[in-house]
Amino acid sequence: MNERENILGRIREALSVPAPVPGAHDHPSAHPASEAEAAKHIGEWLPSVGPSLEDRIELFRSNSADLKTDFRLVNSREEALAQVKEIAASEGWKKVASHADPMLEGIDAALGLPVLKTDGGYNVCDMEQCDAGISACDALVAQTGSVLVTSRSAGGRALSVLPPHHVVIARRDQLVPDLPAAFALLKQKYAGNYPSLISFITGPSRTGDIERILVLGAHGPKKVTVVCY
């Protein structure tokens, strides 16, 4: 407790002498804009997103291609489940991990495989053995090709990173245009009671630590599939 006061005391003493405002070298007249004003503009500075849902879908699709995310657009939930079933067969899944969510209803029956449900706790070694983790999400972000998950919407913390393949099932209306919209959605949905983890997942796990050469599946999933209906 004492150290807290020491540190805060040193900060207050240091701040008693004001610092020049940012940009003073380049633009002598610059003053910090109000935060609300700044937030309003962020969307105008970041990479642009078209106005229609089709634009968002196309942008999410091209970002997914860049990121090596497998993006599949289908017309109904039944088709989405069929897609997952097809992947399961082609990859020879033996066991999957998942969680309780209306978006995932019927997936167990469709797959006909042993399913580890994370709700209410699970054994980590069991999940490590799973071929895929299947989850819902909070949103898809067109601007960045990201999947927004939380510990509440996607079956906890490990489901989306421990198995080698992460499959996300989402609806078209979950596709938000940009990052400011994604944060606004988080605030509106969870303010006052946030989940303990919020994560923007942008493509499969990756590294460039060896000669800056891209390798997928460094520690997390080697594949990410987004099935959107």
Q: Which of residues 204-223 bind other proteins (CB under 8 A)?
A: 204-213, 215, 217-221
In this structure, are residues 127 and 161 in contact, taking their beta carbons and an 8 Å threshold? no
Q: How far is the CB of 76 from other proteins (least distance, A)?
A: 29
In this structure, are residues 96 and 111 in contact, taking their beta carbons and an 8 Å threshold? yes
Q: Which of 61, 68, 129, 194 binds other proteins (CB under 8 A)?
A: 194
- Using the rule CB under 8 A, give the single segment among 40-48, 85-93, 102-110, 168-176 that binds other proteins: 40-48
Q: Of residues 99-158, which lie at the interface with other proteins (CB under 8 A)?
A: 99, 118-122, 124-125, 128, 143-146, 151-152, 155-158
Q: How far is the CB of 7 from other proteins (least distance, A)?
A: 5
Residues paired with residue 139 on neighbouring β-strands, in sequence order: 148
Q: Is 227 exposed, middle or buried (0-12, 13-18, 19+ CB in 10 A)?
A: buried
In this structure, are residues 181 and 51 in contact, taking their beta carbons and an 8 Å threshold? no
Q: Of residues 56-95, which lie at the interface with other proteins (CB under 8 A)?
A: 63, 66
Q: Which of 74, 195, 225, 227 binds other proteins (CB under 8 A)?
A: 195
In the bound state with other proteins, the residue whose beta carbon lies nearer, of 35 and 112, is 35
Q: Which of 12, 51, 92, 109 binds other proteins (CB under 8 A)?
A: 12
In the bound state with other proteins, the residue whose beta carbon lies nearer, of 53 and 218, is 218
SS3 106: coil
In this structure, are residues 141 and 178 in contact, taking their beta carbons and an 8 Å threshold? yes
Q: How far is the CB of 192 from other proteins (least distance, A)?
A: 10
In the bound state with other proteins, the residue whose beta carbon lies nearer, of 35 and 75, is 35
Pairing of strands 139-141, 96-98: unpaired
Task: Output b/e per residue, 65-76; b: 16+ Cβ within 10 A.
Answer: eebebbbbeeee
Residue 29 interacts with other proteins (CB under 8 A): yes or no: no
In the bound state with other proteins, the residue whose beta carbon lies nearer, of 13 and 54, is 13
Question: What DSSP line would sit under 41-88, residue for residue?
Answer: HHHHHSPP--SSHHHHHHHHHHHHHHHT-EEEE-SSHHHHHHHHHHHH
Q: Which of 53, 65, 89, 184 binds other proteins (CB under 8 A)?
A: 184
Q: How far is the CB of 78 from other proteins (least distance, A)?
A: 27
Sign of CA dihedral 228, 63, 49, 177: positive
- Using the rule CB under 8 A, give the single segment among 39-47, 50-58, 75-83, 105-113 that binds other proteins: 39-47
